[in-house]
Amino acid sequence: MTGVGKVWLVGAGPGDPGLLTVKGLRALERADVVVADRLGARPVLDALAADGVALRAEIVDVGKLPGHHAVPQDAINALLVQLARDGKQVVRLKGGDPYIFGRGGEELAACVEGGVEVEVVPGVTSAISVPAIAGIPLTHRGVATAFTVATGHDQIRALGGGRDHTVVLLMGVGTLANSALTLARGERGADCPVAIIEDGFGPGQRVTVGTLSTIAHQAAARGVRSPAVVVVGDVVRLSPYAPDALATLDLSTFDPLAAPAAHPTGKANPS
C-alpha cells in the first residue's frame, strides 16, 4: 500500500448540478479520481465544467446502459478498493442517491472488506425530485399519505394499497405494460392516474399523463424512452400536466377513497 486513500460514495442527484450537495461538491474538489455513472453523475460533471468549476481528478466512466453493463459491478468494487489502496482520494459518483437502487451498499461493503476508509454522501433521489418538476408531490394532505419506490423489475403484484398510496417506478419503461396491468387489477383500478416523466432535469424532459388502462398505449405512441420515472396514484391529478378529465383542484372536498365518478375535476394547464 503506497498511501492512505479514501472512497466517498457520493449521490450526484438527478443530473442538475444545483442539486448536488455542498458536501458532495467538496469531495469532488479534493478527489484524485472520480468513478462516474452515466445517469445523473456524468451530466453533473459536464455542467460543473461548463460553469468553470475545475476538478483536478481523473474521470473514469463506468456508466451502464439498459441491458448492457460495460463494467461489471464486481469490477467497479475492485477498482474502488485498489485506487484507495494506492493512496488515491476517490469519489464514486452515482446518480440520485447511492442507497436508492444504486448498489451503494454493495460498494460500501466491498470497501470495508478491502480495509479502506469509506464515507457515504447522500444525494437527491430522482424518485422524489423528478416527480416534483412535473408538479407531483408524492404525498399530499387529503390525497396521499404514503409512497413506495420500486423498480419495474420488482414484484409489482406485491404492492398493495389504493390510490392514496403513491407508487414510484424507476427503470420501469421496458416493463410498463405489465406493471400497469398488474396495478390496475388491484385496489387502484384501471382509471388510476399515471404520469411518466422522461429525462427529468435534462434537455429531453417530457411528461405524459394517462391512466393505468391507457398509459402503455400512450407511451408507445409517444415513443417514451428511458431514463424515466413513473408515478401512479391520485397525486398525479395535482400536476399541471394532467388533462381536464383527471385534474383535481378542489382539495377541500376531495376524497381519495371515493368512487372515481365522485372525484371533482377542474381545468389544469395543458400538457
pLDDT at 268: 36
Q: Say if 239 falls within a structural domain.
A: yes
Q: How many domains does the chain have?
A: 2
Q: How far lies 156's CA from each of 38, 187, 211, 219, in Å?
A: 26, 13, 17, 19
Q: Evaluate whether 178 touches 156 at the Cβ level (below 8 Å).
A: yes
Reading the block at residue 189, the C-alpha cell is 383500478
Based on the fold, state whether residues 158 and 251 are members of the same structural domain.
yes
Residue 73 CB coordination number (10 Å):
14
CA distance 22 to 38: 21
Q: Say if 268 falls within a structural domain.
A: no
Q: Say if 108 falls within a structural domain.
A: yes
Q: Say if 116 falls within a structural domain.
A: yes
Q: Say if 267 falls within a structural domain.
A: no
CA distance 212 to 57: 46
Based on the fold, state whether residues 220 and 175 are members of the same structural domain.
yes
Give the type of residue at 21.
T
Q: Say if 269 falls within a structural domain.
A: no
Q: Say if 22 falls within a structural domain.
A: yes
Last residue of a domain, one of 106, 124, 142: 124
Q: Say if 198 falls within a structural domain.
A: yes
Reading the block at residue 231, the C-alpha cell is 408515478
- Tell me the catalytic residues: 37, 64, 171
pLDDT at 69: 55
CA distance 189 to 170: 21
What is the mean pLDDT for each group of 10 consecutive residues in the chain (271 residues)?
84 94 96 92 92 92 66 94 97 96 95 97 97 96 93 82 95 94 94 97 95 97 96 96 81 57 37 37
Is the preceding peptide bond at 270 cis, omega within 30 degrees of 0?
no
For residue 77, give every residue at least 6 positions away whose Cβ sits within 8 Å of its Cβ, in sequence order, or none: 106, 107, 110, 111
Residue 151, classed as helix, strand or coil, is strand
Q: Evaluate whether 193 touches 242 at the Cβ level (below 8 Å).
A: yes
pTM of the model: 0.86
CA distance 35 to 31: 10
Q: Evaluate whether 228 touches 203 at the Cβ level (below 8 Å).
A: no
**CATH number, domain at 135?**
3.30.950.10
Q: Which alpha helices (H) appear in 120-204, and where do they start and end?
A: 126-133, 176-184
Reading the block at residue 225, the C-alpha cell is 424512452
Residue 120, classed as helix, strand or coil, is strand
Based on the fold, state whether residues 226 and 243 are members of the same structural domain.
yes
Cell 486513500 -> residue:
5
For 196, the domain range is 127-262
Please list the residues that pair with 117 across neighbouring strands.
6
Q: Evaluate whether 165 touches 139 at the Cβ level (below 8 Å).
A: no
Last residue of a domain, one of 96, 124, 152: 124
pLDDT at 63: 75
**CATH number, domain at 107?**
3.40.1010.10
Is the preceding peptide bond at 260 cis, omega within 30 degrees of 0?
no
Query: How many residues are there in the chain?
Result: 271
Q: Cα angle at 240 between 214 and 196, to 5 degrees?
A: 40
Cell 453533473 -> residue:
44
